[in-house]
Amino acid sequence: MGRDVIVACDFDSEQATLDFLARFDGRKPFVKIGMELFYATGPEMVREIRARGHKIFLDLKLHDIPNTVKKSMAVLSRLDVDIVNLHASGTVPMMEAALEGLTRADGTRPLLIAVTQLTSTDSDMLKNELYYDLENKSYANLLTLTLDGQTIDLSLYDRAPEGAVSSNYLFGDAVYGLNLNNLSKTVPASAIWEMLGVSYNDVKSMIEPVLESLKNAAAFDITKLTEKLSQAIENNCTISAADGQADTVVITVSFNKEQLLAVSQKIIDTVKEFMTYLGSASGSINGAEFDKALKALEEGLASLTDASAKIDYVINAQSRQLICIAFSCQGSAEGETFSLSGDFNMGTDPAGSESYIFSVTAQATGEDAFYTSINAVIERSSNADGVISRKLTVKTASEPDGEFTAALAAEFTLNRTTGEMVLRAESSPYKLSITGTAAVSENSFSMTIADITVRNDSSAEPLFRLEPNLSLTLTQLESMPQMPEYKDIFSLSQEEYTQLLTALQEKLPPIIDLLPGIPGDNGDEGDF
């Protein structure tokens, strides 16, 4: 069929590899050099096979911070191989760095491919179920992983102030958890201190602030602070109403300097209260730096010589719908001025509007003078064939009278009949396309990502292309998994701690051995 067949050289020595290649009786197959052979023999083996006339796929699946991958790819590029690869899970910055490092001074490079899913996996390998109960602030995560016939399960439950974890693979029928409200009782009395050869009093000064913070975090109700903040705004503003244009009513909320300072101080006080409640303002390493930053902010506000702000809410007088929000604020300090203004226009009928327009402009004079204006437009449309479209266009300007230039253009289309979904986005010089399917029913939403491609205007070939076949399903349920009965992790006996540690020591290493690509694994490099 005119295609190369890549032959895997999964050997642990130079001699075994050369003996294998000699069996091809003068032919020069395209070969794959994976981790096992490369780590055993090094780059000299690559050079030797290349010198014998073979094309080479160097299968090392690089995955690290972008700079490390860039430098490593530069080294691999000098080996004159034909294909190299990396893990797509390293995300775009890593892959961009890899491409940069791989490209030689003359512009040539090996083919770069990304590994998205290993061949030892299948569609049933990973199942992760997330449950949320917003009303009761409950959460559950049920994970099932299947590797080489071994099923590994892990379930997490959270309903403040309680949390629990279960795993039939790790713990059998046992479930472990804790109640944050009981930590002050359970931790001091725990058998773990005797096992460690210390007393609780020896570590009390370090442990108790942490326990108090955890307890406070579990009991804290942030709505109380937001209510205080809302009340402060209500008490420090001027509200007026007037007839607007085209059957509209404009409600204006305005602030003078004194009112703005009062609201700002309340915000600072609210943040202080929150951090103090968690024990961070006085008991943490960064507490002093945090207080210093707040003090600097207070001093900056005190230096204002003038300040004002207003928010206009434009309401359709007939439908009573909010159709536009406009805001502005300005001030001066130490001879410098600043201003921020913008609006969000949703049209006369927001629910049926074909476009939403958002604009914001920020500028300052003085030593740190700047000007930035951003305009964003969202367009909505649909046709008789059931195709809906959403477009986003973002433009920016850096001069008061300057022309706007395109910063981002994106379009999402969905065919409700076929389920075909396409997302395209462009921000020079990059172009992104994502294809897949989506379906919406009365109580569920499902989506599958089939293809992800990123291109660069300067290159005919894609920077990378992924085919993850990733599926997501959201379903509204009448109930969710409940918090199971559990053994408090700090109330275990020494014998129970020993049993737990023994189970972890026995069960965790085999998991690592099953994971492809981990040093010390079973040798399954899996990709093609």
Q: What SS3 string covers 78-97?
A: CCCCCEEEEEHHHHHHHHHH
Distances (CA, A) of 444 to 142, 395, 440, 447: 19, 35, 6, 10
Task: Specify the pTM.
Answer: 0.59
User: C-alpha angle with apex 460: 456 to 465, nearest 5 degrees?
Assistant: 65
Domains located in the chain, CATH noted: 6-115 (3.20.20.70), 126-201+484-514 (no CATH)
Residue 88 predicted with pLDDT over 90? no
Residue 89: alpha-carbon gap to chain centroid: 12
Give the CA count within 13 Å in the CB-facing half-sphere of 363: 12
Q: Which residues of 312-334 are buried (b: 16+ CB within 10 A; e: fewer)?
A: bbbbbeeeeeebbebbbeebbbe
Measured in degrees and rounded to the nearest 5, phi and psi for residue 304 equal -65, 130
Distances (CA, A) of 450 to 466, 468, 503, 527: 8, 6, 39, 18
Active site residues: 61
Give per-residue pLDDT as tens, 464-511: 888 777 777 788 777 888 899 999 999 999 999 999 999 888 888 766
Tell me, letter by letter, the H, E, C secondary structure of 7-45: EECCCCCHHHHHHHHHCCCCCCCEEEECHHHHHHHCHHH
> Can you tell me the mean pLDDT for 320-326?
95
User: C-alpha angle with apex 180: 176 to 183, nearest 5 degrees?
Assistant: 90
> Can you tell me the mean pLDDT for 441-455?
85
Structure tokens at 470: 């990733």
| Class of residue 61 by CB neighbours under 10 A (exposed 0-12, middle 13-18, buried 19+) | buried
Q: What is the pLDDT of residue 525?
A: 39
Give the CA count within 13 Å in the CB-facing half-sphere of 288: 1
How many whole angstroms separate alpha carbon 266 and alpha carbon 116? Answer: 49
Give per-residue pLDDT as tens, 386-438: 899 999 999 999 999 889 999 999 999 999 888 899 999 999 889 999 999 98
Q: Report whether 87 contacts 98 (CB < 8 A).
A: no
Instruction: For the chain, give the percent of residues with pLDDT over 70.
Output: 88
Report residue 520's pLDDT band, with 50, 70 and 90 as the boundaries.
Answer: very low
Q: Report whether 433 contacts 422 (CB < 8 A).
A: yes
Give the CA count within 13 Å in the CB-facing half-sphere of 239: 6
Q: What is the pLDDT of residue 307?
A: 93
How many whole angstroms separate alpha carbon 413 and alpha carbon 411? Answer: 7
